[in-house]
């Protein structure tokens, strides 16, 4: 085997020999199951009339709010909410090398540092895709069951559903590589985690919301990573609640995410990866 | 049997900002011998070894194995094994998995992991998480990593630090065996006494510069020896030495004369008619010579 495939195999071994990946996968599955199952039941119930909205106390609308195409929205939770998990995995896998000083044995075994970073990116791309599958097992697996139970067609025979599945897995894979980029850009593990959580849970949603109010900022808002990801997946509750917000095409969203990953990783290579290991 | 390559440092220099960590250092390390790389804390040993291993970029100069820089070695782990001072493990990983990762990266067979764990005496703990290891066990795991490719060159940074007496005895034997097999062994320490029993050659650095290079025995003769002389009438003896122009200090066991030749002191006393009771060369210990070379041992 050549050096690069060996480096990829070693990076996979790193990921699978600590508990982090399956702890995150488990939390991802649980979180998305709750969201997709709960909201699937709520909206499915409203739509099918199984739940009477007037008894909900929220106000007496006549009939449920008509959400057309409920299933893709439910399925997209795996990425629109779950994307933080592959980013965290990538950032933890990368910053952990600095924190535990495992860069020393890593670079001794393979002094081609660019190759090692490339191997980590490939590995986290695949791991992110696996997280996509885990997220879909919750959002699509559980979501479809719940919606069927309420008499909503889960659209499992629809080719558009399966195209969404493919795009969602790609989005999650790209988020994994963005995590690697962030990890080399901000090698302090604590700082990296704080940035991931603050940005994904607070800063970006606020920016996306704020950017909707004028046309110019809306044009910029669609290039935010979360917005690009939603565009790639092709459906999300966020875009639903902002029908005026302009979005990118799915492939443009994919390219924007890819650009974030590349810029962060190359920047991080110079900021930390190729520096002295002391 | 793997054969050792010659390690060659040529004018290697490293500055960290304003700190001159290593200053124009040149020396070679030969196979078949254990070479002690000595100097007080902060002398620049770790920085020098990390430059040798391609982990720290030199400000100028080169360090090579048989003429090849570490990063250009086709099979680095099978050519050079290194254990560096800092423990570099993920605490949540087992020793077997830790080594397994780098065996994969280096394309080494998985049996090597079991082999080296047995060799360093960690076979029974191979499947425990490294986070629970004692310092001595971590040192051994570091050595296992160094041995994984069965390399001809060993580079060990302070491997004796933190070992118990049994571990120290074990590593001394290990170093001797490795050199006897024809490997190149470079081992750093801030204490000469720690490695004195295992090294053939010494390279001593102080404040980033070469202070001494030679065999262990060469340390004995390098510092100016003194003669200890004493007698019933110390005052008369002092006067005689002063008259002869020999400087001295008063020590616990007699007068310490700054003169290498005991015969000359004996002659001075005899000529002055002063009786003497003690006359011998002060043997400065290796450790004293070492401390003298590195500037009185003022560690940073
Ligand atoms: N990453 C670094 N940044 C700044 N100074 C450093 C760094 N690493 C080492 N030094 C300095 O370089 C000098 C040599 O350190 P080191 O090589 O660790 O010495 P030794 O291993 O002999 O104790 C010391 O003064 C130390 O403070
Ligand atoms: Mg040191």
Counting the structural domains of chain B, the total is: 2
Judging by beta carbons within 10 Å of its beta carbon (0-12, 13-18, 19+), is residue A197 exposed, middle or buried? middle
Task: Determine the pLDDT at residue A224.
Answer: 92
Cα separation, B255 vs B266, in Å, equals: 13
Cα separation, A22 vs B19, in Å, equals: 44
Name residues 130-159 of chain B within 8 A of A (Cβ).
145
For residues B67 and B14, membership in a common domain is answered with: yes
For residues B119 and B171, membership in a common domain is answered with: yes
**A78 CA to chain B: closest CA distance, Å?**
28
Which residues of chain A make contact with B87, given a CB cutoff of 8 A? 101
For residue B239, the tally of other CB atoms under 10 A from its CB is 13
| Lowest-confidence region among A86-90, B10-14, B245-249 | B245-249
Task: State both tokens at A9.
Answer: 């195999």
For residues B215 and B230, membership in a common domain is answered with: no
Residue-wise pLDDT tens digits, A31-87 = 999 999 999 889 888 877 777 766 544 443 444 455 667 899 999 999 999 999 999
Question: What percent of chain B has pLDDT above 70?
Answer: 95
**A59 CA to chain B: closest CA distance, Å?**
53
Cα separation, A83 vs A86, in Å, equals: 6
| Lowest-confidence region among A66-75, A116-125, B49-58, B266-275 | A66-75
Instruction: Tell me which residue in B47, B88, B107 faces A101 most closely, judged by beta carbons.
Output: B88
Nearest CA to ligand 1 atom 18: B46
For residue B90, the tally of other CB atoms under 10 A from its CB is 22
For residues B240 and B213, membership in a common domain is answered with: no
CA-CA-CA-CA torsion sign (B251, B257, B262, B266):
negative
Cβ of B198 closer than 6 Å to ligand 1, yes or no, is no
Cβ of B19 closer than 6 Å to ligand 1, yes or no, is yes
Cα separation, A178 vs A90, in Å, equals: 7
For residues B141 and B249, membership in a common domain is answered with: no
B300 found inside a domain: no
Task: State both tokens at A112.
Answer: 């081609």
Q: Are B178 and B31 in contact (CB under 8 A)?
A: no
B210 found inside a domain: yes
Backbone angles phi, psi at A222, to 5 degrees: -70, -10
Instruction: Tell me which residue in A101, A103, A105 faces B102 most closely, judged by beta carbons.
Output: A105
Cβ of B55 closer than 6 Å to ligand 1, yes or no, is no
Ligand 1 atom with minimal separation from the B17 CA: 4
pLDDT of B85 strictly over 80: no
For residues B131 and B266, membership in a common domain is answered with: no
The owner of tokens 């020896």 is B225
Cα separation, A140 vs A134, in Å, equals: 10
Cβ of B299 closer than 6 Å to ligand 1, yes or no, is no
Specify the CATH number for the domain of residue B15: 3.40.50.300
pTM of the model: 0.87
Q: Which domain holds residue B211?
A: 7-219
pLDDT of B21 strictly over 90: yes
């Amino acid at each position: 085997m050549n050096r690069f495939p060996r480096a990829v195999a070693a990076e996979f071994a790193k990921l699978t020999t600590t508990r982090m990946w399956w702890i995150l996968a488990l939390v991802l599955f649980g979180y998305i199951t709750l969201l997709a199952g709960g909201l699937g039941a709520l909206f499915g119930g409203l739509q099918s009339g199984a739940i009477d909205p007037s008894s909900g106390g929220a106000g007496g609308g006549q009939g449920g709010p008509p959400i057309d195409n409920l299933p893709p929205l439910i399925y997209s939770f795996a990425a629109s909410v779950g994307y933080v998990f592959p980013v965290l995995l990538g950032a933890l896998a990368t910053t952990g090398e600095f924190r535990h000083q495992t860069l020393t044995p890593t670079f001794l075994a393979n002094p081609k540092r660019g190759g090692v970073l490339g191997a980590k990116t490939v590995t986290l791309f695949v791991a992110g895709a696996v997280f996509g599958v885990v997220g879909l097992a919750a959002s699509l697996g559980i979501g479809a069951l719940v919606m069927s139970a309420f008499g909503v067609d889960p659209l499992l025979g629809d080719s558009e559903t399966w195209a969404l599945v493919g795009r969602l897995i790609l989005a999650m894979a790209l988020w994994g590589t963005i995590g690697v980029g962030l990890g080399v850009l901000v090698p302090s593990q604590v700082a990296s985690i704080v940035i991931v959580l603050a940005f994904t849970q607070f800063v970006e949603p606020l920016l996306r919301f704020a950017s909707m109010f004028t046309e110019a900022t809306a044009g910029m808002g669609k290039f935010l990573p979360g917005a690009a990801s939603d565009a790639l997946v092709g459906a999300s509750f966020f875009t639903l609640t902002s029908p005026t917000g302009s979005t990118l095409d799915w492939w443009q969203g994919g390219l924007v995410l890819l650009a974030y990953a590349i810029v962060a990783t190359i920047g991080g290579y110079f900021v930390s990866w190729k520096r002295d290991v002391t | 049997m793997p054969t050792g390559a010659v390690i060659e440092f040529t004018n290697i220099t490293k500055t960290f900002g304003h700190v001159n960590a290593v200053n124009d250092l040149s020396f070679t390390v030969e196979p078949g011998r254990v070479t002690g790389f000595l100097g007080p804390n902060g002398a620049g040993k770790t920085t020098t070894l990390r430059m040798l291993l391609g982990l720290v970029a030199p400000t100028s100069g080169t360090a090579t194995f048989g003429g090849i820089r570490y990063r250009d070695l086709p099979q680095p782990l099978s050519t050079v094994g290194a254990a560096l001072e800092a423990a570099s493990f993920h605490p949540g990983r087992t020793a077997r998995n830790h080594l397994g990762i780098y065996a994969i990266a280096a394309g080494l067979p998985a049996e090597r992991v079991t082999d080296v764990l047995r060799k360093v005496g960690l076979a029974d703990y191979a499947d425990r998480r490294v986070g629970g290891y004692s310092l001595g066990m971590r040192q051994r795991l570091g050595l296992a990593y160094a041995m994984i490719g069965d390399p001809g060159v060993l580079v060990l940074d302070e491997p004796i630090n933190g070992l118990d007496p049994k571990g120290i005895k074990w590593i001394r034997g290990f170093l001797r065996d490795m050199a006897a097999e024809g490997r190149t062994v470079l081992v750093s320490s801030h204490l000469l006494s720690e490695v004195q029993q295992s090294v053939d050659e010494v390279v001593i650095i102080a404040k980033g510069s070469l202070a001494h290079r030679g065999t262990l025995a060469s340390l004995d003769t390098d510092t100016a020896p003194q003669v200890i002389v004493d007698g019933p009438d110390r005052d008369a003896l002092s006067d005689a030495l002063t008259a002869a122009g020999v400087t001295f200090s008063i020590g616990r066991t007699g007068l310490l004369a700054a003169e290498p030749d005991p015969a000359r002191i004996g002659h001075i006393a005899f000529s002055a008619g002063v009786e003497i009771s003690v006359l011998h060369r002060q043997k400065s210990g290796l450790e004293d010579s070492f401390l003298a070379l590195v500037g009185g041992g003022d560690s940073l």
